[in-house]
Structure 1
Amino acid sequence: MRIDLHTHSCVSDGTESPGEVVRAAAAAGLDVVALTDHDQTAGWAEAAAAAASAGIGFIPGMEISCRSSDGISVHLLCYLHDPADAELVAELDAARSSRQTRARRMVEILAEDFPLTWDMVQEQTHDGATIGRPHIADALVAAGVVVDRSHAFATILTPRSRYYVGHYAVDAARAVRLVRQAGGVPVFAHPVASARGRVVGQPVFTELIEAGLLGVEIAHRDNPEDGRRFLRQLAAEHDLIVTGSSDYHGAGKPNRLGEHLTEPAQLERLLAAGSGSAAVGL
């Protein structure tokens, strides 16, 4: 069984619709796929219908943008949570609102040096999606400023750039507790991806585990091998669910569906731990 538990659609920062992501997963030979758009669950219904039609399993999920107690960005995957849980929804609404304000400010600063407007960014965004750095990157590509998203993120849109503007992010330990409260399964996404920026240390892992963290994403292209060894040891010591995933974004990133996979036994653990929503076809 081939299982990929981390993908994104145009509901957040992917380039394909939820149904297209699922159909691409089936074409890539996957048996199970999760949709984990940033701070959004609006793509679940379309993805679930596409999975039923394609004859593959679907796991409803999400990726929450958080901040650790020492100020480092943390991405928390969550699966099978209740999408209507009031406290979790309130935090997601606050994050999306902050992202929108932040994106506008970034465009204002960028426009001082580059041929970029808010309308150009909106042209790169699908209806209902929260505008973020990926959409700004796509607008910069369309304007001929950079060659692709990766180039934009490595140069103009890096957190070290003068064009970068921060945004609200829920405390990571609080996010873990909210996901558990909503019947979901919290999994730390690409926890040691040092090429993306600063990564958390052992005290934060301990804090998140004490808050109820249930898993870690280990097999991911951005996790270096020495970090993976640390994560495998951590997972063994705390009996954490271990996942592997592509982090697929369609044409937005080079990541390919199924390039990293989750073992069936780990999926069974995840399914047993989630109670807020239901998988399809499993």
Structure 2
Amino acid sequence: MPSAIDLHAHSTASDGTLSPAELVRRAAAQGVRLLALTDHDTTAGLAEAAAAAGPEGVELVPGVELSTLWEGIEVHVVGLWIDPACPALRAGLAAQRERRGARARAMGERLARAGIPGAYEGARALAGGGVVNRSHFARYLVAAGRGRDPGDAFDRYLRQGRPGYAPPEWVGLAEGVGWIRAAGGTAVLAHPGRYRLSAGRLRRLAAAFREAGGEAVEVVCGSHTPAQVQVAAGLARRHGLAASAGSDFHAPCNPWRELGRLAPLPPDLTPVWAARTPRAREGAA
């Protein structure tokens, strides 16, 4: 069902297919009035998105999505209402982009050894000067006839244990949360339903996140099943976390992750936007 609030979306500044301005215009057309741009490890698209938001009647939440590590598991943290000029955040994101570049080159080398030359150059071209990540490699592999679609390419070449996989060396969870807090932002544990963790280990992750200064969990997400929404809601209740909602939009070709296509939050949870913006409170009413 449509929602006026969407706090997780990506543009061509990372692995989305719409420019920041195009993303804002699409969000407006979908009825979204409070939108967060949360590109992977970069804030490069925020200025363009902010310039487009006003004329479209959209309130833009400056955001970012950090890749972090917790007990060897890759965990994503969305930062909302950040100050992109914060020195600590800027330095941290620069280091993350260096790590991403090194990983992308390693993936290209591994794919070349597997008989797929030119993958790094192809992924870099698709990134268009933005952050290179596995989504760009997947799109290149499909174009090269190595997968039916990006999901198939991921499964065949890019997931752990596959020929093109290179292990990440991201910032630790607590340090990443610290960058967001230093920038005046709210740290949100992104899409917990996607982590292949036991119930007990997921609770330990949420506890560690809360202890590090995390304030919210993404309860409703474009990739969450109804059962995963309930699990995420349970984490919010158990650990005293606010609840966020975001489509995790990347491209128009994924209708199940359309901007604003989100179920309502469970009514007993505190929305992460409740104390941040009057427009959000009006949109949620």
Amino acid aligned to 2:21: G
- Asked whether 1:181 is paired with 2:186, we answer no
Give, in whole Å, the separation in 1 of the partners of 2:106 and 2:134: 11
Query: Secondary structure of the residue that 1:76 maps to in structure 2?
Result: strand
User: Among residues 126, 129, 136, which one is paired with 2:128 in the alignment?
Assistant: 126
- Asked whether 1:243 is paired with 2:276, we answer no
Are the equivalent residues in 2 in contact too, given 1:114–1:145 (CA < 8 A)?
no
* Cα distance, 1:251 vs structure 2: 4.6
Amino acid aligned to 1:4: D
Provide, for residues 212-237 of structure 1, a one-character-per-residue CA deviation record: whole Å limited to 9, x for no partner.
11100011243344443232233224
Q: 1:57-76, aligned counterparts within 5 Å? A: 57-68=59-70, 70-76=71-77
- Asked whether 1:190 is paired with 2:191, we answer yes
Give, in whole Å, the separation in 1 of the partners of 2:275 and 2:251: 25
Most deviating of 221-230 and 175-184: 221-230
Provide, for residues 15-55 of structure 1, a one-character-per-residue CA deviation record: whole Å limited to 9, x for no partner.
11000001011111212211000011111111011111111
Amino acid aligned to 1:26: A
Name 1:275's counterpart in structure 2: none
Query: Secondary structure of the residue that 1:48 maps to in structure 2?
Result: helix
* Cα distance, 1:192 vs structure 2: 2.2
Give, in whole Å, the separation in 2 of the partners of 1:162 and 1:147: 17
Give, in whole Å, the separation in 2 of the partners of 1:111 and 1:83: 37
Give, in whole Å, the separation in 1 of the partners of 2:73 and 2:34: 31
Give, in whole Å, the separation in 1 of the partners of 2:205 and 2:90: 24
Amino acid aligned to 1:35: L
Query: Secondary structure of the residue that 2:65 maps to in structure 1?
Result: strand
Query: Secondary structure of the residue that 1:266 maps to in structure 2?
Result: coil
Q: 1:64-213, aligned counterparts within 5 Å? A: 64-68=66-70, 70-117=71-118, 118-127=120-129, 129-194=130-195, 197-198=196-197, 200-213=201-214
Over 3 Å counting, the alpha-carbon distance change for 1:157 and 1:198 in structure 2 is farther
Give, in whole Å, the separation in 2 of the partners of 1:214 and 1:77: 11
State how many pairs are aligned: 270
- Asked whether 1:266 is paired with 2:251, we answer no
Are the equivalent residues in 1 in contact too, given 2:36–2:60 (CA < 8 A)?
yes
Name 1:34's counterpart in structure 2: 36
Amino acid aligned to 2:208: E
Most deviating of 58-67 and 112-121: 112-121
Amino acid aligned to 1:239: G
Amino acid aligned to 1:7: A
Provide, for residues 71-123 of structure 1, a one-character-per-residue CA deviation record: whole Å limited to 9, x for no partner.
11110000112212222222221211111111112112212334430332222
Q: CA RMSD in A?
A: 2.3
- Asked whether 1:48 is paired with 2:50, we answer yes
Amino acid aligned to 1:228: V
Name 2:11's counterpart in structure 1: 9
Are the equivalent residues in 2 in contact too, given 1:2–1:262 (CA < 8 A)?
no
Are the equivalent residues in 2 in contact too, given 1:4–1:262 (CA < 8 A)?
no
Over 3 Å counting, the alpha-carbon distance change for 1:262 and 1:89 in structure 2 is farther
Are the equivalent residues in 2 in contact too, given 1:216–1:231 (CA < 8 A)?
yes
Give, in whole Å, the separation in 2 of the partners of 1:78 and 1:219: 16
Most deviating of 19-28 and 262-271: 262-271
Are the equivalent residues in 1 in contact too, given 2:20–2:49 (CA < 8 A)?
yes
Higher RCO, 1 vs 2 (CA within 8 Å, ≥6 residues apart):
1
Structure 2: 5+ residue runs without aligned partners? none
Most deviating of 259-268 and 172-181: 259-268
Over 3 Å counting, the alpha-carbon distance change for 1:144 and 1:21 in structure 2 is same
Provide, for residues 193-215 of structure 1, a one-character-per-residue CA deviation record: whole Å limited to 9, x for no partner.
14xx4475222211111221110
Give, in whole Å, the separation in 2 of the partners of 1:114 and 1:256: 36
Are the equivalent residues in 1 in contact too, given 2:187–2:216 (CA < 8 A)?
yes
